[in-house]
Amino acid sequence: MPQEILILVDDDDNEIGTDTRENCHAGKGKRHRAYTALMFHKGKLLLQQRSGKKLLWPGAWDVSFTSHVYPGETYQQAAARRAAQELGANIGMLEDVQSFVYFAPQGDNAENEFCRVLVGDFDGKITPNREEMMNVRWANVKDVVSDLKAHPDAYTPWFKLSFEGFLKSPTARRYA
């Protein structure tokens, strides 16, 4: 399998180079471009539980899907690519509701990303890729808020930041 090449960026999402996925996550990592997607169907949010084989936060609950933007891709193109790979889902245009930078170490590796939060509705049809996730669940926003307060360590760091940003956005009112 060819090495994944990621886009290195500064804190304002300006491109400053490229490097391999492995180098971007090793040690303290290198700031790179990523996104999270919160996908809804009939008012419920799709969450996934990360595969136990994942290098970072195996088994943690996560956004509907997440990944990196490759050189030459837009955030929308990257999201469409990954929705098909992770969920077997077809999605339309997603709303960009927020961005944030974060650093989250775990063991000898780390996430160090400029991350956009993308939100949208879709038909709910999925075929989960079991290499990526071990479980999925659908939940309304209120239930996620409650569960996140009760079990914060059950979620990935980027889920918490993405969901917090989503809740502050005008878009969240559609799903309340």
Cα 13 versus chain centre, distance: 16
Q: How many distinct structural domains can be found in the chain?
A: 1
Q: Is residue 162 part of a domain?
A: yes
Quote the domain boundaries for residue 124: 5-171
Q: In this structure, are residues 29 and 9 in contact, taking their beta carbons and an 8 Å threshold?
A: no
- What's the rounded Cα separation, in Å, for the pair 173 and 34? 25
- DSSP state string for 114-158: EEEEEEEE--------TTTEEEEEEE-HHHHHHHHHH-GGGB-HH
Q: Could you tell me the CATH number of the domain that includes residue 121?
A: 3.90.79.10
Q: Which long-range contacts (CB under 8 A, 24 or more apart) does 163-169 make?
A: 163/38, 163/63, 165/97, 165/98, 165/100, 165/117, 166/38, 166/97, 166/98, 166/117, 166/119, 167/141, 168/98, 169/97, 169/98, 169/117, 169/119
Q: Is residue 176 part of a domain?
A: no
Q: Is residue 150 part of a domain?
A: yes
Q: Is residue 131 part of a domain?
A: yes
Q: Is residue 38 part of a domain?
A: yes
Residue-wise pLDDT tens for the chain (176 aa)?
Answer: 679 999 999 999 999 999 999 999 999 999 999 999 999 999 999 999 999 999 899 999 999 999 999 999 999 999 999 999 999 999 999 999 999 999 999 999 999 999 999 999 999 999 999 999 999 999 999 999 999 999 999 999 999 999 999 999 999 999 98
Give the pLDDT score at 4.
Answer: 95
Check residue 69 and report its DSSP letter: P
> Would the CA dihedral through 150, 154, 155, 160 be positive or negative?
positive
